[in-house]
Chains A and B, each alone.
Chain A
Amino acid sequence: MKKDIILAGVGGQGILSIATVIGRAAVANGMYLKQAEVHGMSQRGGDVQSHLRISTDPIASDLIPEGKADLIISVEPMESLRYLPMLHEGGWIITNTEPFKNVPNYPSDADLEAALKKVKNIVAFNAEAMAKEINAPRSANMVILGAATAQLGLPYEEFEKAVREIFANKGEEVVETNIKALALGREQAK
């Protein structure tokens, strides 16, 4: 089994936490992993992406080849579209629809929605609004991850377990909130 995943967003939106959870779950199941991150100048409010590759066989490249990604998981709608050339024909986009507008020429809501609708395989919903409903505005990334879990080829419990481990040092309350966020996303994608 092999999954090549592009994680997308804007610097500071928590895409690396998504990568950490998936990575932890994959490694706990004896899979290989490579994950290329973006550090440095582009982190400051710019577009950021991470290439996450998990596989039951050894992985050669740290970067996913263009046209070979299985999934784009994005916490920002315009950013999800930036990586379309990376996605193969049967690949899916799972994206948050709440825009992060920090550029003057950000597309209009209607244009953006139309562009998202044109994507063949897409799960798009407002993860931020859902996270706010459970008083966890910072957990929108976990809601999005929850929506992607069905396509990651690992049992859902493995992601719960990974969330518990990763947030353990932040206290029980933070753990439970993120578990709840994960479950909300999972329901949404069903």
Chain B
Amino acid sequence: MQKLLLLGDEAIAQGALDAGITGVYAYPGTPSTEITEYIQHSKTAKEKGIHCTWSANEKTAMEEAIGVSYTGRRALVCMKHVGLNVAADPFTNSAVTGANGGLVYLIADDPSMHSSQDEQDSRYYARFAQIPCLEPSNQQEAYDMIRYAFDLSEKLHTPVLFRVTTRLAHSRSGVELREARAQNEIKLDPNPKRFILLPANARVLYKELLGKQKSFEECALNDGFNRYEDGSDKSLGIIACGIGYNYLLENFADRKCPHPVLKVSQYPIPRASVKKMMEECGKVLVVEEGYPIYEELIRGYLDESGKILGRLDGTLPRDGELNPNLLAAALGLPKTTGEPIPDVVVARPPSLCNGCPHIDSYNALNEAMQDFGKGHVFADIGCYTLGALPPYNAIYSTVDMGASITMAKGAVDSGFAPAVAVIGDSTFTHSGMTGLLDAVNDKTPITVMILDNSTTGMTGGQDSAAFGKIESICMGLGVEKEHIRVIKPLKNHHEENVRIIKEEIAYQGVSVIVPRRECIQTAARHAKEAARAKAAAAKK
């Protein structure tokens, strides 16, 4: 079969296409974005009519996919780890309903917070909802395991959480493809009550879920993605989860570890394998790329065995992503390093692009806020979060998607005024609209700046669900028309923009200011595309 050089994310996308999905449902979020983008650009996906447009947020995405599963067809849902917090309601309840058509939740975790506000470990969510969790160790496994995930979902009538971390998502390697299979036909679940979670039904379905737990562990033991590899030196055994397995093997010539290794890519980790290792090895090192979840479980609350090593006793760091050197240190192998970084090297943090419209918005906002002192601007998740850094130092909060508007409202409720919320167009339709409705209903005097760059910028310029709709949404929510002000974030509009912001801050009600100018990155891309189209047309 064909071999392609694919990012982990792309291998997952191709795997899902070849596994016969009817749709992918997602909201952009690093490091998961490239999965949906790959399907959007796939010719076969287009020919087969596979759904792949972005959803407004992770919760709507997941519910739409549950609707696909309801009809007996397969759906993939993609999001970053914190997106699962937004989708937690359908997530946990769909564990109770179970799945009809194959239903896979691809959650991309970001240990070390390369592009995130926390490093939560989605395997906890799988345990919380009591559903199977898969975690491939490399790109080929990612490709193969996606098909397995859909099979497992259909066989055991359960959604499956498929966890990857940043390094696998954004690392490229050769992947051998298998023959693609067809989508499922529409076929409703034989149990007509499966998706009606009335308490009386839910109690029955929840017992069904509890009853499945044993088979989840049996599959993890027997289906080939967890492997007990023998080793002659039994003074130490190693439980290596996900890509931690690669970092372990990197430390040995020909990738041959002298210790017994339990390679884990499927959860729950089979107790039989853990028991075997505990019995035959002197110490057991638990390697997890994320929280020490299984380490804690294996230790038990009282940690009485005294033979477990991992993140909780400092053998590995308590936080951050792993790497081969950290594994070397845990194994007591000699440290390798080159020359130190010379003093002339200074930090180069990310910054807003030259020509970015947010620069002009922040310059105007900073001037308008001058007289109020510090702490009055609440921001949100997106490129404009970089407004926290010099030279702007313009914002004082960034907590989660949509929290700018609601935190500004809370501050005013508490007597701290004025309060300005800064939120992007895509973030506004993701989670800002409901908070704005709260403010309208309470007539809370806040000023909401919806920075409309007509795209989801931070993740690379995906279509924004808000496009062309912001004023009508705000009016629909009850913001007064004369207090919805559209401005042009450009240098030569600076004075006017400062004046308008000041006017709206002075207004004792809800006002919305929309600085509107396209993202400099997507604008350049669109100009290039237009030029290319023009050249192609001229050729004809």
Quick one: closest B residue to A76, CB to CB?
B348
How distant is the Cα of A107 from the Cα of B251 in the complex, in angstroms?
37
Q: What number of residue pairs across chains A and B have CB atoms under 8 A from each other? A: 161
Quick one: closest A residue to B457, CB to CB?
A44
Question: In the assembled complex, which residues on chain B have CB atoms less than 8 Å from the CB atom of A11?
Answer: 350
Interface string of A22-56 (1 = CB under 8 A from B): 01100100001111111111111111000100000
Question: Least Cβ distance of B337 to chain A in Å?
Answer: 4
Cβ contact within 8 Å between B336 and A68: yes
How distant is the Cα of A106 from the Cα of B349 in the complex, in angstroms?
12
Cβ contact within 8 Å between B249 and A39: no
Cβ contact within 8 Å between A34 and B115: no
Question: In the assembled complex, which residues on chain B have CB atoms less than 8 Å from the CB atom of A118?
Answer: 342
Cβ contact within 8 Å between B250 and A65: yes
How distant is the Cα of A82 from the Cα of B344 in the complex, in angstroms?
9
In this complex, the interface size class of chain A, counting residues with CB under 8 Å from chain B, is 35 or more
Instruction: Determine if A58 is an interface residue (Cβ-Cβ < 8 Å).
Output: yes
Return the contact of A34 from the options B173, B337, B348 (Cβ within 8 A). Answer: B173
Quick one: closest B residue to A57, CB to CB?
B254
Cβ contact within 8 Å between A66 and B338: yes
Instruction: Determine if A103 is an interface residue (Cβ-Cβ < 8 Å).
Output: yes
Instruction: Determine if B352 is an interface residue (Cβ-Cβ < 8 Å).
Output: yes
Segment 149-184 of A: residues with Cβ below 8 Å from B: none
Quick one: closest A residue to B334, CB to CB?
A67
Instruction: Determine if B460 is an interface residue (Cβ-Cβ < 8 Å).
Output: yes
How distant is the Cα of A37 from the Cα of B352 in the complex, in angstroms?
21
Question: Least Cβ distance of B449 to chain A in Å?
Answer: 20
- Contact A44 to B338, CB < 8 A, known contacts A107-B344, A112-B344, A115-B344: no
Cβ contact within 8 Å between B458 and A35: no
- Contact A32 to B339, CB < 8 A, known contacts A10-B348, A41-B30, A63-B323: no
The segment from A83-91, A124-132, A139-147 that touches chain B is A83-91
Question: In the assembled complex, which residues on chain B have CB atoms less than 8 Å from the CB atom of A88?
Answer: 336, 338
How distant is the Cα of A69 from the Cα of B7 in the complex, in angstroms?
22
Cβ contact within 8 Å between A23 and B5: yes
Instruction: Determine if B201 is an interface residue (Cβ-Cβ < 8 Å).
Output: no
How distant is the Cα of A32 from the Cα of B3 in the complex, in angstroms?
12
Instruction: Determine if B316 is an interface residue (Cβ-Cβ < 8 Å).
Output: no
- Contact A91 to B172, CB < 8 A, known contacts A60-B250, A61-B324: no
Cβ contact within 8 Å between A46 and B350: yes
- Contact A115 to B246, CB < 8 A, known contacts A39-B34, A43-B350, A63-B323: no
Instruction: Determine if B114 is an interface residue (Cβ-Cβ < 8 Å).
Output: yes
Cβ contact within 8 Å between A45 and B351: yes
Cβ contact within 8 Å between A46 and B351: yes
**Which A residues lie at the B interface, using CB under 8 A?**
10-11, 23-24, 27, 32-47, 51, 57-69, 78-79, 81-82, 84-89, 91, 102-103, 105-107, 111-112, 114-115, 118-119
**Which B residues lie at the A interface, using CB under 8 A?**
5, 7, 30-31, 33-34, 114-115, 167-168, 170-174, 243, 246-247, 249-251, 254-255, 323-325, 328, 335-353, 383, 386, 458-460
- A-B CB contact pairs (8 Å), 10 listed: A42-B114, A44-B352, A44-B353, A46-B350, A46-B351, A60-B247, A69-B338, A79-B348, A89-B338, A115-B342
